[in-house]
């Protein structure tokens, strides 16, 4: 299969396509983007579940935001805000965990033996055996701008990719540690990416604010809106960067 970074990049790109498509996409249309990756049935199901879950969360969050905006308008005078309920998607995940069988250390080791021997039929069982542990790892990284559902989703995807890598490897003794490290690394990578995006957003907002203030000052001084060249001289930015920021401000 394609290497993990490339695979995840394609998955996330397709998830964005599905999210922004004018019409709902069928499973066949989604999987067509992966036609050159030779995915087996379990991989296809994992990809579809990942993308559909992301889309469901997007829709749910949009509806939730609209509802919260309305509720906040009605309750602006209240001093206390009740704790937000868990999302429906995450509640379904917790319900699924509650219904899973218990896997002892011996059970897991027997499954690992089959995995490294090349038996891909145990991947789903191992994934189920790890769902609670993925949640436990994810909870360590929760912060105000990161939701546990997204962390769990990234952890489960990292787990699945590692299981595919270990399939037929012939080494069972350190599978537990390798899976744990893979899940943690996947979640940490997501946290790092989100942190980088927030920093980028903050930088962009700062630049837009600077340009906005510069426009006000120069308009007052000159009696008319400044040109990009005048703004560039005032803000010490390039004309090209200012043109890009201007487009963002218009949007």
pLDDT in tens, 79-124: 433 444 566 767 877 888 888 898 999 999 999 999 999 999 999 9
Note whether residue 33 is domain-resident. Answer: yes
Choose the final residue of a domain: 28, 44, 68: 68
Q: 17 is in which domain, residue-wise?
A: 1-68
Which pLDDT score, from 0 to 100, does residue 68 have?
A: 60
Domain boundary among 34, 68, 102: 68
Instruction: Please report, for the domain that includes residue 242, its CATH number.
Output: 1.10.10
Residue 28 counted as domain residue: yes
Q: By C-alpha distance, which of 98, 213, 199, 116 is closest to 164?
A: 116
Number of domains in the chain: 2
Which residues in the chain come in under a pLDDT of 70? Answer: 1-6, 54-87, 89, 172, 198, 200, 202, 249, 251
Residue 57 in any domain: the answer is: yes
Measured at the alpha carbon of residue 13, what is the angle toward residues 10 and 15, in degrees to the nearest 5? 110
**Strand partners for 10:** none
Q: What is the pLDDT of residue 83?
A: 41
Residue at a domain's end among 16, 48, 68: 68
**Residue 129 domain-assigned?**
no
In a domain, 92, yes or no: no
Q: Return the half-sphere exposure (C-beta side, CA atoms, 13 A cut-off) of residue 114.
A: 13
**Does some domain include residue 195?**
no
């Amino acid at each position: 299969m394609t290497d993990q970074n490339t695979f995840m990049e394609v998955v996330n790109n397709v998830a964005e396509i599905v999210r922004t498509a004018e019409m709902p996409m069928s499973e066949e249309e989604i999987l067509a983007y992966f036609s050159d990756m030779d995915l087996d049935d379990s991989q296809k199901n994992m990809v579809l579940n990942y993308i559909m879950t992301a889309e469901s969360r997007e829709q749910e969050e949009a509806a939730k935001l609209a509802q919260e905006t309305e509720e906040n308008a009605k309750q602006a005078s209240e001093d206390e805000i009740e704790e937000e309920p868990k999302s429906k998607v995450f509640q379904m995940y917790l319900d699924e965990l509650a219904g899973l069988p218990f896997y002892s250390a011996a059970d897991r080791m027997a499954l690992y033996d089959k995995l490294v021997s090349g038996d891909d039929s145990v991947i789903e069982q191992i994934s189920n055996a790890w769902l609670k542990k993925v949640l436990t790892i994810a909870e360590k990284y929760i912060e105000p701008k990161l939701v546990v559902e997204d962390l769990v989703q990234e952890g489960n995807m990292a787990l699945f990719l590692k299981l595919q890598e270990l399939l037929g490897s012939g080494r069972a003794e350190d599978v537990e540690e390798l899976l744990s490290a893979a899940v943690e690394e996947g979640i940490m990578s997501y946290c790092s990416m989100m942190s980088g995006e927030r920093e980028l957003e903050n930088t962009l907002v700062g630049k837009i604010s600077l340009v906005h203030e510069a426009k006000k000052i120069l308009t007052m001084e000159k009696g008319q809106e400044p040109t990009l060249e005048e703004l560039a001289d005032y803000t010490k930015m390039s004309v090209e960067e200012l043109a890009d920021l201007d487009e963002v401000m218009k949007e």
